C-alpha cells in the first residue's frame, strides 16, 4: 500500500450529504473480480449522460476541478453498502483525500463518514479527514471564490492547509492506529500475523457455546 | 458490574488488546458471497497465504444470480465469470458453498439462520452491510469491506475499536397491519441515517419480545440504514425454539444444545447495565411507513404528505430538492395518490416465510393491477419450498404476480431484475438510494402487506383501510 505522508492537490467540492456507496460506484461495476479499473466509473450515474458523454450539470465534471485529488463533501459520506469498490473507485479516479464534516443533530455528534467506508479508506491509502461544519463551509466558499484552489495535507502534523491568497490551516483528529498504518503504508494482515501465537492460544481454550 | 449483551459477547471474543487501544476480536462465522470476495481470494493467492479456518466460512451465491426458471444459465458474461470465480475459490480453499441449484441456496443472510450457523453469542461477519440481520439471534454481526474479508480468511480475527452501545426500546402493542418494518423505518426516520453511527444498537422492550424471529431479523437487518454497524436482540425462548427446529444442520443438538442454552440464557443485558445512548419508541400509534426520498430516513406515515425543502428535519434544502427531483414528487403530494409501476416483495429484509404469508393474504382473491409488474422473490430455496407447501405460490400466480427463485433480485439491480428509468416501485427491500434498483428507478420502502396492496390498487394505499374494505 502506498504510504500517505503529505499531499498537495486541487480541491473539488461535492455539495451533497449522505452520499451512499451505491452512488459512488453503481452495482453494475461490482461484477468485476479485479481490484482495478473502477476509476472512470466513480459517480457513474451522476457523471455521465445516457449516451456516455460527461454530464455538464454534475459538479465534479466542472473544468475548474480538472486534475483534482482532494474531495470535499458533506456529512455521512459513504453510507450504505459495505462495498470496498467505492474506495477503489475514488482512489483510482485520483482522489487521495476526502474531507467531510461531522454534524451536530439533537445534541449528538454524527460522524462525517460511515463506519465501514472509513475502515475501507485506511486499507487503501486514502485519508479521510473529519472537520467541523464551519470549517468545511469555509473550504466550500474558498473553492467557489478561487478556481483551482489547492490544499496541502500533512498527516504527521494532522493539518489541512488551504493555499491561495488567504491561507488557512485546520487541524484534524485521526485514530493513532489508522495514522500509523497510513504513514507507513502497512499491510493489516502482516500486522495481525505478528499475533498468530495469541490466536492459536485463544483457539485452544475457546468454545463458542 | 452490570454488563450489556454487547459487552458480554465482546469480552468473550477478545484475543488480545492491541497497543493502540483497539482489540483483536475472534470471528466465529464468516459468510462469503460472490461479489465482495473475489479480490480477497486474489490477495491470498498473490501473497501465498492460506485460509486459516475454512471450516468457519460458508459461501453462497445471491447478489448476481438470476431468479427466473432459466437461472442456471447466466447470460451476462461478467456475472458468469464472477459466479465461476466463486466456485473456484471455494473449491481451492476448501470452503463449503451452497451453489446455484443447491436446495439450501439463498441470500446469505437468509441461509445463515436457516442452516443453524447463526447462533446467540457468536461473532459473525460478511462482506455485506446487511450482516447486521444476524443480530436478531443475539450474535454480534457486522458487515466488512473486502480487505477485511481477506483479513478474516487469513487470521480468523479482526482488529476492532470497541463501539458504543445504544438502547432502542420499543413499547406498546403494534396496531393491526403494522409490522417490524414500520418499527425500524420509524426509528431511522427519527434518528436519521447516521444516528446510530459508531454504535451497536440493542433493540429491547415488550414489542420486541412479542416479535417472531423473522420479524426481529427485519429490524436488525436495517440497523445499518441508521448508520449502526450492528443491531442486537437478546435471545429468548422464541430464539431457542427457532434454533431447535429440525433441519438446522449446523446448530447444536441434544446435550450440546443443553450446554449452549445454559450459556445463551446468561447473555441478555444485566439489569442496570449502562448504555451510551438510548431512545424509546411508542408503537401504539405507529402508522404504516413509506419512504418518499432517496435514503431510508426520508420516511413518512402513509397519511402524511410529501415534505417541502424546509419541512424535512435533519436534511438541507439541497438534499430535499435533489431527492424530490429524483423521485419525481412535489411537496404536499399524498402518496396514496401516487401510482406504482413495479412491486418487489423480496430481499434479506422481507423475503422470509412470514413475509410471504402476509403478502399472500393480501393477494388472495385479488388481482395485481394490469399496469403493475409484481415480483415475489423468496429469500432462500428453503422459503420457496415452504411457501409452495403452503400453496402461497398458487395465490401469487392466481393474482398475476411472478413467483421466482431465491436471490437478491431487484433489491440491488446487479442481476437481470431491474427497474427502468423513472419506474416507480413499492419495495420491501432496505435501500431507496438513487439507482439502487436500476438506473433512474424510484424506490419506496414499505412492509410486505403495503407492497402487496400497492400491487393490487396500482398505487400506494393505507393498508389499514384497504384490508378492512
> Across the interface, which of B76, B229, B319 has its CB nearest the CB of A17?
B319
Cell of A22: 451505491
pLDDT confidence band for B20 (50 / 70 / 90): confident
Looking from the CA of B429 toward its CB, the CA atoms found within 13 Å total: 28
* Spatial separation of the C-alpha atoms in residues B267 and B261, rounded to whole Å: 10
Q: Are B467 and B449 in contact (CB under 8 A)?
A: yes
The reply to whether A1 falls in a domain is no
Are B60 and B166 in contact by the 8 Å Cβ rule? The answer is: no
Rounded Cα distance between B151 and B161, Å, is 16
Residue A175 maps to which CATH number? 3.20.19.10
Interface test with B, best of A19, A82, A110, A113 (most B CBs within 10 A): A82
Is position A22 within any domain?
yes
pLDDT of residue B468: 79
Residue B469 has pLDDT above 80, yes or no: no
How many residue contacts between A and B have a Cβ separation below 8 Å? 194
The pLDDT mean for chain B works out to 97
Asked if residues B442 and B460 have their Cβ atoms less than 8 Å apart, the reply is no
Instruction: Evaluate whether A45 touches A25 at the Cβ level (below 8 Å).
Output: no
Mean of pLDDT values over B381-390: 98
Give CA torsion, residues A44, A45, A46, A51, to 10 deg. Answer: 90
Q: What is the pLDDT of residue B336?
A: 98
Residues 6+ away with beta carbon under 8 Å from B267: B5, B8, B9, B120, B121, B138, B234, B235
pLDDT at B313 over 90: no
**What confidence score (pLDDT) does residue A100 get?**
98
Q: How confident is the model at residue A2 (pLDDT cuts 50, 70, 90)?
A: confident
CA dihedral of B131, B135, B140, B144, whole degrees rounded to 10: 10
Evaluate if residue B160 carries a pLDDT over 90: yes
Search chain B and give the residue with CA nearest A120: B145
pLDDT band, residue A17 (cuts 50/70/90): very high
Q: Supply φ then ψ for residue A155, to 5 degrees.
A: -70, -40
Residue with C-alpha cell 461473532?
B123
Nearest residue of chain A to residue B321 (CA atoms): A16
Chosen from A175, A199, A209 to mutate, greatest number of chain B CBs within 10 A: A209
Give me chain A's average pLDDT, please. Answer: 96
Instruction: Please indicate whether, in this complex, the C-beta atoms of B147 and A120 are within 8 angstroms of each other.
Output: yes
Query: Is pLDDT larger for residue B395 or for residue A165?
Result: B395
CB contact under 8 A, B145 and A202: no
Query: Nearest 5 degrees, angle CA A68-CA A69-CA A70?
Result: 105
Q: What is the pLDDT of residues A188-204, one digit of tens each?
A: 999 999 999 999 999 99
Q: Is residue A40 part of a domain?
A: yes
Alpha helices, DSSP H, located in B94-236: 108-115, 146-155, 180-191, 206-209, 213-221
Does A75 reside within a domain?
A: yes
Count of beta carbons in the 10 Å neighbourhood of residue B416: 18
Write down the pLDDT at residue A166: 84
CA distance B389 to chain A (A): 34
Q: Are B335 and B460 in contact (CB under 8 A)?
A: yes
B319/A18 touch (CB, cutoff 8 Å), yes or no: yes
Read off the pLDDT of each residue in A8-28 and give the average, rounded to a whole number. 97
SS3 label, residue A69: strand
Global pTM exceeds 0.90: yes
- A119: chain B residues, CB-CB within 8 Å: 144-145, 148
- Which residues in chain B touch residue A198, judged by CB atoms under 8 angstroms apart? 15-16, 24
**In B129-284, beta strands by DSSP E:** 140-143, 157-160, 164-171, 199-204, 230-233, 277-282
pLDDT reported for residue B266:
98
Best mutation site among A27, A84, A136 for testing chain B: the one with the most B CBs within 10 Å?
A27
Mean per-residue pLDDT, B257-278: 97
Q: How far is A7 from chain B (nearest CA, A)?
A: 24
Task: Note the pLDDT tens digit of each residue in A78-98.
Answer: 999 999 999 999 999 999 999
Q: Residue B278 pLDDT more than 90?
A: yes
- Sorted by sequence, the CB contacts under 8 Å of residue A197 that are 6+ apart come out as none
Check A180 against B35: CB less than 8 A apart: no
The domain in which residue A93 lies consists of 6-205
Q: Residue A1's pLDDT band (boundaries 50, 70, 90)? A: confident
Above 90 in pLDDT, residue B304?
yes
- pLDDT band at residue A115 using 50, 70 and 90 as cut-offs: very high
Q: Buried b vs exposed e over A116-148: b needs ≥16 C-beta within 10 Å?
A: bbbbbbbbbbbbbbbbeeebbebbbebbeebee
Yes or no, beta carbons of B76 and A123 under 8 Å apart: no
ipTM above 0.85, yes or no: yes
pLDDT digits (tens, 9 = 90+) for B346-378: 999 999 999 999 999 999 999 999 999 999 999
Across the interface, whether the CB atoms of A17 and B315 are under 8 A apart is answered yes
Give the containing element (helix H, strand E) for A137: helix A133-145
pLDDT digits (tens, 9 = 90+) for B172-224: 999 999 999 999 999 999 999 999 999 999 999 999 999 999 999 999 999 99
| pLDDT reading at B165 higher than 90 | yes
Q: Are the Cβ atoms of A192 and B439 closer than 8 angstroms?
A: no
What is the sign, positive or negative, of the torsion defined by CA atoms of A6, A8, A14, A15?
Answer: positive
Q: Which three cell numbers stand for residue A4?
A: 500517505
Name which of B59, B63, B38 is nearest B347 in CA terms: B63
Given pLDDT bands bounded at 50, 70 and 90, which one contains residue B404? Answer: very high
In a domain, A46, yes or no: yes
Number of domains chain A contains? 1
User: Quick one: pLDDT band at residue B392, thresholds 50, 70, 90?
Assistant: very high
For the stretch B223-239, pLDDT in tens is 999 999 999 999 999 99
Mean pLDDT of B259-286: 98
Q: What is the pLDDT of residue A55?
A: 97
Nine-digit cell string for B194: 447516521
| Pairing mode, strands A68-72 and A6-13 | parallel
Q: Sign of torsion, CA B187 B191 B192 B197?
A: negative
Residue B314 in this model has a pLDDT that exceeds 90: no
Q: What are the backbone angles phi and psi of residue B220, rounded to the nearest 5°?
A: -65, -35
**Mean pLDDT across B387-404:** 98
Dihedral sign from CA coordinates of A49, A55, A61, A64: positive
pLDDT for residue B271 is more than 90? yes
Amino acid at each position: 500500500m502506498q504510504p500517505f505522508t503529505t499531499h498537495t492537490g486541487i480541491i473539488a467540492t461535492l455539495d451533497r450529504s449522505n452520499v451512499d456507496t451505491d452512488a459512488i460506484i453503481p452495482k453494475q461495476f461490482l461484477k468485476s473480480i479485479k481490484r482495478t479499473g473502477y476509476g472512470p466509473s466513480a459517480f457513474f450515474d451522476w457523471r455521465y449522460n445516457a449516451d456516455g458523454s460527461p454530464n455538464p450539470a454534475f459538479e465534479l465534471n466542472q473544468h475548474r476541478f480538472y486534475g483534482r485529488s482532494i474531495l470535499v463533501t458533506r456529512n455521512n459520506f459513504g453510507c450504505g453498502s459495505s462495498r470496498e469498490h467505492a474506495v477503489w473507485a475514488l482512489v483510482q479516479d485520483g482522489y487521495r483525500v476526502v474531507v467531510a464534516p461531522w454534524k451536530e443533530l439533537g445534541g449528538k455528534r454524527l460522524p462525517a463518514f460511515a463506519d465501514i467506508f472509513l475502515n475501507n479508506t485506511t486499507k487503501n491509502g486514502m485519508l479521510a479527514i473529519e472537520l467541523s461544519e464551519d470549517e468545511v463551509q469555509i473550504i466550500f466558499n474558498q473553492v467557489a471564490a478561487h478556481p483551482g484552489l489547492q490544499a496541502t495535507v500533512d498527516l504527521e502534523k494532522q493539518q489541512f492547509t488551504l493555499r491561495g491568497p488567504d491561507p488557512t490551516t485546520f487541524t484534524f483528529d485521526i485514530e493513532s492506529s489508522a495514522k500509523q498504518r497510513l504513514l507507513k503504508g502497512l499491510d493489516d494482515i502482516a500486522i495481525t500475523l505478528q499475533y498468530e501465537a495469541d490466536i492459536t492460544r485463544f483457539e485452544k481454550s475457546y468454545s463458542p457455546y | 458490574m452490570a454488563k450489556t449483551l454487547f459487552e458480554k459477547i465482546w469480552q468473550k471474543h477478545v484475543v488480545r488488546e492491541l497497543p493502540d487501544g483497539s482489540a483483536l476480536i475472534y470471528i466465529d462465522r464468516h459468510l462469503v458471497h460472490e461479489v465482495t470476495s473475489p479480490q480477497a481470494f486474489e490477495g491470498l493467492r498473490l501473497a501465498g497465504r492460506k485460509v486459516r479456518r475454512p471450516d468457519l466460512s460458508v459461501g453462497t451465491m445471491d447478489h448476481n444470480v438470476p431468479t427466473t426458471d432459466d437461472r442456471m444459465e447466466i447470460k451476462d458474461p461478467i456475472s458468469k465469470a464472477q459466479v465461476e470465480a466463486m466456485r473456484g475459490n471455494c473449491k481451492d480453499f476448501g470452503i463449503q458453498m451452497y451453489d446455484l441449484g443447491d436446495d439450501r441456496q439463498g441470500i446469505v443472510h437468509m441461509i445463515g439462520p436457516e442452516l443453524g450457523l447463526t447462533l446467540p453469542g457468536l461473532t459473525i461477519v460478511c462482506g455485506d452491510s446487511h450482516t447486521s440481520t444476524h443480530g436478531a439471534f443475539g450474535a454480534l454481526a457486522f458487515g466488512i469491506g473486502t480487505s477485511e474479508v481477506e483479513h478474516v480468511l487469513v487470521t480468523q480475527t479482526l482488529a476492532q475499536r470497541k463501539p458504543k452501545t445504544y438502547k432502542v426500546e420499543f413499547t406498546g402493542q403494534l396496531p393491526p397491519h403494522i409490522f417490524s418494518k414500520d418499527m425500524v423505518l420509524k426509528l431511522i426516520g427519527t434518528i436519521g441515517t447516521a444516528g446510530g453511527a459508531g454504535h451497536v444498537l440493542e433493540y429491547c422492550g415488550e414489542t420486541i419480545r412479542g416479535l417472531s424471529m423473522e420479524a426481529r431479523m427485519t429490524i436488525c437487518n436495517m440497523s445499518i440504514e441508521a448508520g449502526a454497524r450492528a443491531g442486537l436482540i437478546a435471545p429468548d425462548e422464541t430464539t431457542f425454539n427457532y434454533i431447535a427446529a429440525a433441519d438446522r444442520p449446523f446448530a447444536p443438538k441434544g446435550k450440546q444444545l443443553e450446554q449452549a442454552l445454559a450459556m445463551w440464557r446468561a447473555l441478555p443485558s444485566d439489569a442496570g447495565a449502562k448504555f451510551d445512548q438510548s431512545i424509546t419508541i411508542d408503537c401504539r400509534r405507529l402508522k404504516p411507513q413509506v419512504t418518499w426520498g432517496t435514503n431510508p430516513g426520508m420516511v413518512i406515515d402513509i397519511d402524511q404528505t410529501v415534505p417541502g425543502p424546509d419541512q424535512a428535519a435533519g436534511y438541507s434544502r439541497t438534499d430535499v430538492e435533489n431527492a424530490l427531483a429524483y423521485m419525481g414528487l412535489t411537496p404536499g403530494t399524498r402518496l396514496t395518490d401516487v401510482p406504482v409501476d413495479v412491486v418487489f416483495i423480496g430481499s434479506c429484509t422481507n423475503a422470509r416465510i412470514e413475509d410471504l404469508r402476509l403478502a399472500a393474504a393480501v393477494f388472495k382473491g385479488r388481482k395485481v393491477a394490469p399496469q403493475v409488474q409484481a415480483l415475489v422473490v423468496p429469500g432462500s430455496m428453503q422459503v420457496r419450498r415452504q411457501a409452495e407447501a403452503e400453496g402461497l405460490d398458487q395465490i401469487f400466480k392466481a393474482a398475476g404476480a411472478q413467483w421466482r427463485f431465491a436471490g437478491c433480485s431487484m433489491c440491488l439491480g446487479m442481476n437481470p431484475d431491474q427497474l427502468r428509468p423513472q419506474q416507480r416501485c413499492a419495495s420491501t427491500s432496505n435501500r431507496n438510494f438513487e439507482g439502487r434498483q436500476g438506473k433512474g428507478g424510484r424506490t419506496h420502502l414499505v412492509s410486505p402487506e403495503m407492497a402487496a396492496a400497492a400491487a393490487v390498487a396500482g398505487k400506494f394505499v393505507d393498508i389499514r383501510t384497504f384490508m378492512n374494505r
